[in-house]
Chain A
């Protein structure tokens, strides 16, 4: 099954596809169209357009603007990865590795949940804990010296607001 390592491989393709030049031209053309779309979409204040006829908050249109901008960037990335970087024709293993980096981006952005829920801190009943005497309240964003758990002296775990 294994070819002799000394046998030089001179088959036509050498294990790769050679694509027509037109494929690269078309890909570049589509990317250029999306680039123009990004710039054009950014010139339109969608919030301004939506506010009056639909009675929506300006913020809705603002987020539509943002989703369009990042969405187009995502589509452009997909096209570059698939066609310029040849992932469309890669082996399953190659596809898996190419996908992996982009899989970790949403994982990374799940840190947002911490950012969001932190606004509800401090949650009082978390710290009314009779079982753990050494429990020190972790107060984020509190004014200095504020005590959530009266009688507790320990403040060593307190994270000053400046960190956040």
Chain B
């Protein structure tokens, strides 16, 4: 490749591709293949969730009252805004506007840290109330209005597993977006001359947003399965 041969010359189009369309398509199809595996990875957990939710509807409704739909809602809005910033960062990359990309990626990172901060507040509150599943699970029984505590523990098991796995993805997102931002900061041609690396990181970040789009209503906004109360999600 000429890049290696001449050092300062950089060809956006790699030698094995006929044109930019074909090259971009290859990258995007490759990224989607990875995202397909991610969809199935999370899909398994959503399937498990739906089994236990169907079995223990009333007890899970009582358990979900411990979650704050307000904090979850702030995080939903936060991720939506970060997704918007990420999409416009890709646009700035297409326009080769380095400062525009850097500012937006910085905004995405700030949103990601706010997300994890709110998650930390939620987790530590659950931990303090002995709601973390396992040997330490010893909640205040009166909070759950006669629900079977084994079922409540299952709820929190899946809550921590699914939001935890999502949180790990946010963490990985911070690392990847950080690395991408660093390359833009240094003006590396691999990102400044070709918008695709920014687009692929964007695809990952939007996927993380999509997972949360489902996690939020399923965990924080459950409807009441039993008659006799006018209350909605809380």
Closest partner residue, chain A, to B94 (CB atom)? A18
Contact check: which of B12, B16, B32, B88 meets A14 at CB < 8 Å?
A: B12
Pick the interface stretch among B143-151, B159-167, B217-225.
B217-225
Knowing A38-B217, A42-B232, A70-B217 touch, does A94 contact B32 (C-beta < 8 A)?
A: yes
Q: Does B176 contact A (CB under 8 A)?
A: no
Residues of B contacting A8 in the complex (Cβ-Cβ under 8 angstroms): 10-13
Q: How far is the CA of A102 from the CA of B226 in the complex (A)?
A: 32
A136–B209 Cα distance when bound, in Å, is 48
Docked Cα-Cα span, A3 to B40, in Å, equals 39
Contact residue among B14, B76, B84, B210 (Cβ-Cβ distance under 8 Å from A24)? B84
| B47 and A109 within 8 A (CB) | yes
Whether A90 and B227, one on each chain, are in contact in the complex, defined by CB atoms closer than 8 angstroms, is no
Q: Mark A38-58, 1 if CB is under 8 A from B, else 0.
A: 110011111110010000001
Q: Given contacts A28-B84, A77-B210, A97-B33, are A3 and B11 in contact (CB under 8 A)?
A: no
B contact residues, range: 35 or more
Closest Cβ–Cβ distance, residue B79 to chain A (whole Å) = 10
Cα distance A60–B19 in the bound complex, in angstroms: 55
Flag the segment in A61-69, A127-135, A153-161 that touches B. Answer: A61-69
Assess the B221–A39 pair: CB atoms within 8 A: yes
Q: Digitize B29-60: 1 where CB-to-A-CB distance is under 8 Å, 0 elsewhere.
A: 10011011111100110110011000000000
In the complex, what residue of chain A is closest to B51 when comparing beta carbons? A115
Q: With A73-B214, A80-B213 in contact, do A15 and B19 touch (Cβ < 8 Å)?
A: yes
Tell me, yes or no, whether B192 is within 8 Å of chain A by CB.
no
- A72 vs B76: C-alpha distance in the bound complex, in angstroms? 14
Selected from A15, A47, A98, the residue in CB contact (under 8 A) with B224 is A47
Given contacts A14-B12, A16-B94, contact A94 B29 (CB under 8 A): yes
Which A residues are CB-close (under 8 A) to B216? 38, 73
Query: A62 contacts B43, CB within 8 Å?
Result: no
Query: Cβ of A146 < 8 Å from any Cβ of B?
Result: no
Indicate if the CB atoms of A15 and B20 lie closer than 8 Å.
yes
* Pairs A-B, 9 closest by C-beta atoms: A15-B20, A65-B223, A101-B39, A58-B227, A42-B221, A101-B36, A5-B15, A43-B232, A28-B84
Residues on B lying within 8 angstroms of A by beta carbon are: 2, 10-16, 18-21, 23-25, 28-29, 32-33, 35-40, 43-44, 46-47, 50-51, 69, 73, 76-77, 80-81, 83-84, 86-88, 91, 94-95, 194-195, 199, 202-203, 206, 209-210, 213-214, 216-218, 221-233
Q: Which residues of A contact B (CB under 8 A)?
A: 1-3, 5-9, 11, 14-16, 18-19, 21, 24-25, 27-28, 31-32, 35, 38-39, 42-48, 51, 58-59, 61-62, 65-66, 69-70, 72-73, 76-77, 80-81, 83-86, 90-91, 93-94, 97-98, 100-102, 104-105, 108-109, 111-112, 115
Extra inter-chain contacts (17) besides given A59-B225, A84-B83, CB under 8 Å: A6-B2, A15-B19, A27-B84, A35-B76, A42-B232, A43-B233, A45-B230, A48-B230, A62-B223, A69-B218, A70-B218, A77-B213, A80-B213, A93-B29, A101-B36, A101-B39, A104-B36
